[in-house]
């Protein structure tokens, strides 16, 4: 407390009114303040009005609350030199410090009067503030009255208006009038502050918009970072800047764009391990760092370039740092930089970088895939779930003899687009197109089709196809590969024709040999001849019988090809038939156990008994051939329904305990001459082919249920009634 504070005037309201002329001027000034929205125009207008309207007022100071303390915002009338003004602006008053701080603390107008200068009247303050008050004291008259009026807008304390008068008994503005005027001042200031806030957020939005636009119009990553940097520099007080991209694989920052700065000054960032760079913590913790430059942080090159402060802002994509935006300037940068504006921008840029990276990665993968697909000699076609082509390699174009395969039209809508036909030359229905099959969920191998060209020549193709499914197991498209098998097909045809002729020619002599061999064997057995002869004749009859079966199979194939495979329908008890086949096969089954299980003693089906016997013989024969000694083979029969029509059907299954058939073989084993690789029992690979043909001619189905290593089950489904075809 100084002695002068005791002279603090207890202001007693008087009834004296302001002269009419002054009222008019105050009203004019108030109207002008309220009309001024920008604080940089309002603040000077405010303080100037006071010294202009009140003749004895020497100076007016506007103190404003900023981050918990009062700071000078503007003054009129103080004869400050530039350097002193700079210092004066740095004063920070806490509650109770200086006259302004006292008015804040007491929340009332305080008036001090004294003869010993400005500093005496200010009371307690920090040494720094005291020093500046002293300097002001030296510039002002000794005899002064200082009034500090708190400014409140609603409940909010926003600052203090300090008025310095040279008239010792200043009653220029009465207390009540002052309160009224300061409340207008406070309202005008609050108004301007709100306006500033709106303007700032508007600027931020505009900045954000500018960055988003520059991101969305950028052609590639270098273009993107360059234009972002340009926009950001326009928006901030920074003089220069750089954009560094973080390479997580190398743990290095890479200088990707820079402006208004020599790249040599940026050598402390580029291509050095991130932990050794000045912005290590920004990359590690994803937090901005805004600080003066330091030698010990390795920022010499920047300091040498005349820079004193930097703002390092992380570019974030979610929680991942994709780079750093570095802005450079002088020390003011540390307080001027608008972090709230820049962080959303940095997030945008961070995501944009991550996206560009993802895009570039996917493009690389695409190119790789493209190279692989193009180098495949087979035709490769991909389609989407609507059957629209999405990829066709060169081989596909060449095989289908198309320069440009259509990527627009769903393939199924134009089955004859590529002139695909079945092997007999019939046009395909849309349902039978490889694409449609795969999109239905079918996986198929060696689906043979033919293309008839305009000149009538034919080309044969083998198609493999599968649906392409997503993680939810939904069909997203289909993959088809195919190759030209025309030459194979021709060889195959020639072979079939040759075999048909050979079989035809062989059958009669073989039949004769079998009759005589049987006759001879029976005779030798009856007369109990030499056991060695009997053994030899037994082998002869067995082998001839086997040869005859092979020849008969070949003849069946040629009959099928010629469409001469007629069925002789008759009511047949499948249970009896199966039992007969089992009994017949028993001698060749060795010590394998053959079982039959039937729901009913009778299972009557209209079928060609000879052909169905052939099918069952073949299945049982295979079961014996491909299963180990002492295993069990079972034949089961039961009633069931046909899946499509629900009409009654018979289901026969033949199960063995052999090696089983892997999934990819389950269709192939039904192909003509197909024999699984590996262990080979005798055979031509025709048994299952003929079995399927026979079953299908009856309107039935044959398929395999098998678990590898756990045996196979061949299922035969036959309609009970003869189907009208």
Q: Interface with ligand ADP by CB under 6 A: which residues?
A: 618, 622-623, 626, 656, 658-659, 661, 669, 674-676, 683-689, 712
Cα–Cα dist 659/306, whole Å: 82
Cβ-contact 117, 153 below 8 angstroms: no
CB of 587 to ligand ADP, least distance (A): 19
Give the alpha-carbon dihedral of 519, 525, 528, 532, to 10 degrees: 90
DSSP 19: P
Q: How far is the CB of 676 from ligand ADP (least distance, A)?
A: 3
Tell the smallest beta-carbon distance from residue 553 to ligand ADP (Å). 8
CB of 372 to ligand ADP, least distance (A): 32
Q: Which is nearer to ligand ADP, 249 or 629 (CB)?
A: 629
* CA separation for the pair 521, 515 (Å, rounded): 10
For the bound state, the minimum distance from the C-beta of residue 685 to ligand ADP, rounded and expressed in Å, comes to: 4
- Cβ neighbours for 262, distance < 8 A, ≥ 6 positions apart: 305
Nearer to ligand ADP, 24 or 586 (CB): 586
From the CB of 595, what's the least distance to ligand ADP, in Å? 15
CB 337 within 8 A of CB 326: no
Coil, helix or strand at residue 581: helix
Distance of CA 211 to the CA centre of its chain: 24
The token pair at 160 is: 């203090």
Which of 294, 279, 292 is CA-nearest to residue 328?
A: 292
Q: Tell me the closest approach of the beta carbon of residue 623 to ligand ADP, in angstroms.
A: 5
Counts of helices then strands in the chain (DSSP H, E): 19, 23
Query: What is the widest separation between alpha-carbon atoms in the chain?
Result: 163
Q: Which of 606, 596, 698, 666 is nearest to 638 (CA)?
A: 596
Strand extents, DSSP E, 522-643 = 570-573, 593-598, 604-607, 632-641
- Residues whose CB is less than 8 angstroms from the CB of residue 377 and which lie 6 or more positions away in sequence, other chains included: 395, 483
Closest to ligand ADP by CB, 174 or 705? 705
Report the nearest approach of ligand ADP to the CB of residue 628 (Å): 11
Rounded least distance, CB 506 to ligand ADP, Å: 18
* Cβ proximity to ligand ADP, 708 vs 721, nearer residue: 708
Token reading at 20: 């009419």
Please report how close the Cβ of residue 689 comes to ligand ADP at its closest, in angstroms: 6
Nearer to ligand ADP, 92 or 668 (CB): 668
- Is the Cβ of residue 159 or residue 683 nearer to ligand ADP in the bound state? 683
The nearer residue to ligand ADP, 278 or 660, going by C-beta atoms, is: 660
Residue 683: CB minimum distance to ligand ADP, A:
2
> Shortest approach of ligand ADP to residue 474 CB, angstroms?
34
Task: Identify which of residues 36 and 702 has a Cβ nearer to ligand ADP in the complex.
Answer: 702
Minimum distance from residue 613 beta carbon to ligand ADP (Å): 15
Q: Which residues, other chains included, contact 23 with Cβ-Cβ below 8 Å and sequence gap of 6+?
A: 17
Answer for the pair 399, 485: CB distance below 8 angstroms, yes or no.
Answer: no
Contact of 561 with 423, CB cutoff 8 Å = no
- Of 118, 155, 158, give the one whose Cα is nearest residue 136: 118
Q: Closest CB to ligand ADP among 461 and 626?
A: 626
**Minimum CB–partner distance for residue 549 and ligand ADP (Å):** 10
Residue among 167 and 667 whose Cβ is closer to ligand ADP: 667
| Distant-in-sequence, close-in-space partners of 336: CB < 8 Å, separation ≥ 6 | 236, 237
**443 and 480 in contact (C-beta within 8 Å)?**
no
Nearer residue to ligand ADP within complex by CB, 412 or 578: 578
Query: H/E element holding 324?
Result: strand 320-329
Please say which residue, 191 or 614, places its beta carbon nearer to ligand ADP: 614
Given the complex with ligand ADP, which of 383 and 616 has the nearer CB atom?
A: 616
- d(CA 630, CA 72) in angstroms, rounded, equals 106
For residue 39, the Cα-to-chain-centroid distance in whole angstroms is: 48
The owner of tokens 């709230």 is 340
Contact 182, 149 (CB under 8 A): yes
- CB of 491 vs ligand ADP, minimal distance in Å: 20
For ligand ADP, the closer of residues 306 and 709 by Cβ is: 709
The DSSP call for residue 668 is G
Q: By C-alpha distance, which of 355, 360, 359, 353 is closest to 245?
A: 353
Nearer to ligand ADP, 214 or 627 (CB): 627
Give the DSSP H/E element, type plus range, for residue 463: strand 458-469
406: left (phi over 0), alpha (psi -120 to 50) or beta: beta
Chain Cα centroid distance, residue 160: 57
Other C-beta atoms closer than 10 Å to the C-beta of 283 total: 23
**Nearest distance from C-beta of residue 251 to ligand ADP, angstroms:** 56
To ligand ADP, the closest distance from the beta carbon of 687 in angstroms equals 3
The SS3 call for residue 16 is coil
Residue 448: CB partners within 8 Å, gap ≥ 6? 423, 460, 461, 462, 463, 485, 489
* Closer residue to ligand ADP, CB minimum distance, 24 or 546: 546
Question: Using CB atoms, what's the residue nearest to ligand ADP?
Answer: 683
Q: Which is nearer to ligand ADP, 283 or 688 (CB)?
A: 688
Q: Using CA atoms, how far apart are residues 608 and 611, in angstroms rounded to an integer?
A: 5
């Amino acid at each position: 407390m100084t002695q002068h504070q005791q002279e603090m005037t207890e202001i007693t309201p008087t009834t004296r009114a302001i002269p009419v002329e002054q009222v008019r001027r105050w009203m004019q000034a108030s109207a002008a303040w309220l009309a001024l929205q920008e604080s940089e125009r309002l603040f000077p207008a405010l303080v100037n009005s006071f010294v202009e309207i009140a003749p004895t007022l020497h100076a007016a100071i506007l103190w404003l609350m900023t981050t918990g303390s009062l700071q000078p915002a503007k003054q009129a009338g103080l004869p400050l030199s530039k350097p002193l003004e700079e210092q004066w602006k740095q004063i920070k008053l806490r509650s109770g410090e200086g006259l302004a701080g006292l008015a804040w603390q007491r929340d009332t107008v305080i008036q001090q009067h004294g003869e010993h200068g400005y500093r005496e009247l200010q009371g307690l303050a920090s040494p720094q503030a005291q020093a500046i008050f002293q300097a002001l004291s030296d510039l002002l008259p000794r005899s002064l009255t200082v009034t500090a009026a708190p400014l409140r807008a609603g409940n909010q304390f926003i600052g203090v208006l300090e008025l310095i008068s040279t008239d010792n008994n200043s009653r220029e503005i009465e207390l009540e009038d002052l309160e009224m005027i300061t409340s207008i001042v406070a309202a005008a200031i609050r108004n301007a502050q709100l306006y500033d806030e709106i303007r700032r957020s508007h600027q931020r939005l505009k900045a954000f918009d500018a960055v988003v636009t520059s991101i969305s119009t950028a052609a590639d990553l270098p273009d993107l970072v360059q234009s972002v940097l340009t926009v950001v520099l326009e928006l901030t007080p920074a003089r220069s800047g750089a954009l560094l991209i973080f390479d997580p694989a190398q743990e290095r920052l890479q200088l990707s764009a820079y402006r208004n700065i020599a790249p040599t000054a940026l050598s402390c960032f580029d291509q050095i391990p991130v932990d050794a760079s000045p912005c290590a913590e920004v990359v590690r913790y994803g937090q901005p760092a805004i600080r003066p430059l330091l030698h010990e942080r390795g920022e010499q090159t920047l300091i040498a370039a005349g820079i004193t402060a930097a703002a390092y802002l992380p570019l974030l994509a979610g929680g991942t740092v994709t780079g750093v935006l570095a802005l450079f300037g002088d020390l003011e940068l540390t307080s001027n930089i608008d972090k709230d504006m820049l962080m959303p921008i940095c997030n945008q840029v961070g995501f944009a970088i991550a996206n560009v990276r993802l895009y570039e990665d996917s493009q690389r993968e695409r190119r790789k895939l493209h190279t692989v697909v193009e180098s495949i000699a087979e035709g490769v076609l991909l389609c989407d779930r609507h059957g629209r082509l999405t990829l066709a390699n060169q081989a596909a174009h060449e095989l289908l003899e198309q320069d440009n395969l259509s990527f627009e039209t769903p393939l199924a809508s134009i089955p004859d687009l590529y002139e695909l036909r079945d092997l007999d030359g019939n046009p395909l229905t849309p349902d039978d197109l490889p694409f449609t099959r795969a999109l239905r969920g079918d996986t198929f191998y060696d689906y043979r089709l033919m293309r008839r060209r305009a000149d009538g020549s034919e080309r044969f193709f083998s198609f493999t196809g599968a649906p392409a499914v997503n993680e939810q197991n939904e069909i997203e498209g289909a993959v088809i590969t195919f190759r030209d098998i025309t030459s194979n097909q021709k060889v195959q045809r020639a072979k079939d024709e040759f075999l048909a002729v050979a079989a035809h020619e062989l059958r009669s002599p073989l039949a004769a040999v079998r009759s005589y061999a049987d006759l001879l064997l029976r005779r030798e057995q009856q007369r109990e001849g030499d056991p060695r002869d009997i053994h030899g004749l037994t082998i002869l009859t067995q082998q001839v019988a086997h040869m005859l079966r092979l020849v008969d199979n070949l003849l069946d194939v040629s009959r099928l090809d010629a469409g001469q495979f007629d069925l002789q329908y008759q009511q047949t008890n499948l249970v009896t038939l199966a039992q007969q086949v089992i009994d017949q096969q028993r001698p060749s089954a060795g010590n394998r156990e053959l079982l039959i299980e039937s729901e009913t003693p009778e299972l009557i089906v209209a079928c060609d008994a000879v052909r169905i016997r052939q099918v069952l013989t073949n299945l049982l024969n295979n079961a014996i051939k491909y299963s180990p000694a002492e295993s069990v083979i079972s034949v089961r029969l039961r009633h069931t329904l046909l899946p499509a029509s629900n009409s009654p059907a018979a289901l026969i299954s033949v199960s063995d305990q052999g090696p089983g058939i892997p999934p990819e073989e389950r269709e192939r084993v039904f192909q003509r001459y197909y024999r699984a690789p590996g262990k080979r029992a005798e055979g031509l690979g025709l048994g299952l082919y003929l079995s399927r043909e026979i079953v299908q001619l009856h309107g039935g189905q044959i398929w395999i249920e098998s678990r590898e290593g756990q045996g196979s089950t061949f299922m035969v489904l036959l309609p009970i009634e003869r189907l009208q075809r």
